[in-house]
Amino acid sequence: MHSPRPDADAVAARLRAAGCVFAEDEARLLLAEHDAGRPLEDLVARRVAGEPLEQVFGWAELDGVRVRLRPGVFVPRRRSVALVHAALEAVGTVGTVDSVARPVVVDLCCGSGALGLAVARAVPDLELHAADVDATACACARDNLDGVGVVHEGDLLDALPADLVGRVDVLLVNAPYVPTAELVTLPREARDHEPATALDGGVDGVVLHRRVAAAAGPWVRSGGTVLVETSAHQAPLTVAGFDPAAWDVDLVTDDDVDATVVRATRR
């Protein structure tokens, strides 16, 4: 005889006791997963132990696109929808700049590949590459980008194949930008269940931004765009990483999701 299905209040009480701020909402979502055939106790126990809800589900959503997640992979943040929208705007200008028919998009520090997948779902006819230094993230990205794009494992732009030099139309960069000293202030679920390589931005949070800005020139074609997610506070530091003689730089902001993106266009 099967045990009776617990109601949402009972599940929410367990989640609330574990410190989940949105316990009621999460309880409804967990019960929906249970109704779809997954063991509820396992789901609740993992969440109570602090695992991110999206990793418990095995999926996350970004800009209406569902991406698969594996344990230990960075969870896409809602604010990154601004990066996707800025990329779509940049891709839309490719055909007006020159005769390029198939835009080349690179999702750098790709994690699950969510950003690249969201762009590819909106613009199917593009050449998509994704790269990450973390092997688990690359495996997850390959799950999501199978038949859509190619995933490369390695350190920032060094991961990319040489035939992309001078061909990249849009370089999406969601490199970590949390200052090292502030990692301890992150929620426990991030500290314990996401890789440090996806969180630690160095002493001032923009160390990787500077590295990308310094190295991007040869990869991005004239008129191409680099888009870097950052914070409002750190945006001036991110901007300063780009040589003003080679790049036109401005900011894209979205107050609805508290997002700031540095946009650098190759001269």
| Bridge pairing between strands 59-62 and 259-266 | unpaired
Confidence label for 185 from pLDDT (cuts 50, 70 and 90):
very high
| Bridge pairing between strands 168-173 and 149-153 | unpaired
How far are the Cα atoms of 16, 44, 104 from residue 12, in angstroms, in the given order? 6, 10, 45
Q: In the predicted model, what is the mean pLDDT of residues 170-189?
A: 96
Sequence-ordered alpha helix ranges (H) in 18-146: 23-35, 40-48, 53-57, 81-97, 114-122, 135-145
CATH number of 78-266: 3.40.50.150
Whether residue 2 has pLDDT greater than 80:
no
259: helix, coil or strand? Answer: strand
Whether residue 223 has pLDDT greater than 80:
yes
Whether residue 1 has pLDDT greater than 80:
no
Structural domain spans, the chain: 8-68, 78-266
Asked if residue 119 lies in contact with residue 91, where contact means CB atoms within 8 angstroms, the answer is yes
208: helix, coil or strand? Answer: helix
In one letter, which amino acid is 200? D
Q: Sign of dihedral through CA atoms 69, 74, 76, 82?
A: negative
Confidence label for 122 from pLDDT (cuts 50, 70 and 90):
very high
Q: From CA 56, how far away is CA 71, in angstroms rounded?
A: 8
Q: Kindly report, residue by residue over 31-58, the tens digit of the pLDDT.
A: 999 988 899 999 999 999 989 999 999 9
pLDDT score, position 4: 56
Asked if residue 154 lies in contact with residue 131, where contact means CB atoms within 8 angstroms, the answer is yes
Confidence label for 7 from pLDDT (cuts 50, 70 and 90):
confident
